[in-house]
Amino acid sequence: MPAALEAARARSAARIAADVHTLARPPFTADPEAVCRYAYTPEWTRTVRWVADRLAALGFAVSDAPLGTLVARNVPAGAPSVGVGSHLDSVRRGGAWDGTLGVVMALELARLDAELGLGLPLTVIAWLEEEGAGFGRLLLGSGLAVGDIGEAELRGGIRSLDDGRPFWDVAADAGHDPARWRDSARALDGLVAWLEPHIEQGRVLQDARRPLGVVSAIAGHAHVDVTLTGRAGHAGATPMDARADALLGAAELCLAAEAQAARRPGATATVGELVVEPGSMNVVPGRVRATLDVRAADDAVRDAVLDGALAAGRAAATRRGLAFEAAERARRPAVRLDPGVRAALARAAEREGAGGPELVSGATHDSASLARRVPSGMLFVPCRDGVSHSPDEAADPRDAARGVAVLAHAAGALAAAEGALSTMRKGTPSPV
């Protein structure tokens, strides 16, 4: 098998590049200059069907997923297999590679399995709505699969960002049966391991000049909405010592968040949104709404950054005569990925001449949900200059092709360790 995979690498790179390029253009995106597709839009539906059709042509059975997650198996439903994939949705003005590359690499693995007779028991999955661009809820499909989301949220708590309708109604109008939401867990049936390939969305691998990276952990995050309320006034007639400028209080919050994260290596803190009211050049800002995003691979570190930033923000507000309110929107714990799966990926990467140190993912991924139910690992492919969630996002298909070979070696080793190779439908699989 090693020689066969080596010979197939150039072919794999060309096919990966062609697939990513195809899915980055209309009719698979609503924006001709960026990738824009999210759950139940025509562009997302076409993309899922495009992948499903190609897997079906390879002999995969595409399951009847209740809410749109794509699940395709080359073994009987429930039989042991290794899950591989990512997501096909995007942010509203994103790039071609985020999420999509992971699914395309899984598709290429399925192609090589068929062409080379690798005998890998595979389940390819493209999770519904990882980014939250359609409904404002991250990890929606994988969250349903592991039980993080229930019927009450689907009926009313999770709503379309386009028109405010409940997820339940939007899914039904798209041809799905939301009453079967509990069947989302069937995507996990028989999985002995889960492998998610993904672009790094940072520049650690690029700076280290490594073609691939194995992920050790996914950082936990906290999202908080902050409102500072002061007093609007005329920009020329209000003396500086008589102001309650909400924007200056928000500026102190931004700087405090930066300082708190800088004191703790590996932590990040970001004020990504500021809404200034009334928002006129000649008016002292009377109210500011801000978002605070804090992340770290250690939950205690994340909480220390968050608490320190909020405390400094409150102190600044008090000093400036402002009201300060903070409301937590979401909090997810850090996730340590499975040591056995990480070791299988690391050994496979060494075998392909792509070994290197493990790294932490600062971005959240579906694997953060899956890791609670299935031994999970992630393989990162470098992206140019660390740019992601942008039309400028780019990666090298040759790195991805090498990553597919790593997935093949790792999937074979994990399946063999669990006795899953015996479930293949045709004959005796090739040794890995």
Task: Evaluate the CA torsion angle 346, 427, 108, 336 in order and state its sign.
Answer: negative
In this structure, what DSSP letter does residue 200 have? -
Which pLDDT value is given to residue 72?
Answer: 98
Distance CA 295, CA 409 (A): 32
Taking CA 138 as the corner, what is the angle to CA 161 and CA 341, rounded to the nearest 5 degrees?
160
Written as one string, the DSSP assignment of 84-104 is EEEE----TTB-SSTTHHHHH
Distance CA 223, CA 139 (A): 15
CA distances from 158 to 18, 151, 182, 363 (A): 35, 10, 16, 22
- Pull the structure tokens for residue 115: 């062409």
232 Cβ contact list (under 8 Å, min separation 6): 277, 278, 283, 284, 285, 286, 287
Which pLDDT value is given to residue 29?
Answer: 98
Written as one string, the DSSP assignment of 343-373 is HHHHHHHHHTT-----EEE-S--THHHHTTT
Written as one string, the DSSP assignment of 260-298 is HHHTSTT-EEE---EEEES--TTEE--EEEEEEEEEESS
Which pLDDT value is given to residue 65?
Answer: 78
Which pLDDT value is given to residue 422?
Answer: 57
Calculate the average pLDDT of the chain.
94
**Tens digits of per-residue pLDDT, 114-146?**
999 999 999 999 999 999 999 999 999 999 999
Enumerate domains of the chain plus CATH numbers: 2-218+334-423 (3.40.630.10), 220-331 (3.30.70.360)
Of 289, 291, 292, the residue nearest 322 (C-alpha):
289
At residue 47, φ and ψ (nearest 5 deg) are: -65, -45
Taking CA 245 as the corner, what is the angle to CA 242 and CA 248, rounded to the nearest 5 degrees?
125
Q: What are the 10-residue block averages of pLDDT along the chain, 432 residues in total?
A: 77 97 98 97 97 98 90 96 98 97 98 95 98 95 96 96 97 96 96 98 94 97 97 98 98 98 96 97 98 97 98 98 96 96 97 89 96 97 96 97 97 90 43 27
Distance CA 67, CA 180 (A): 8
Distance CA 127, CA 125 (A): 6
Contact indicator for 251, 285 with CB cutoff of 8 Å: no
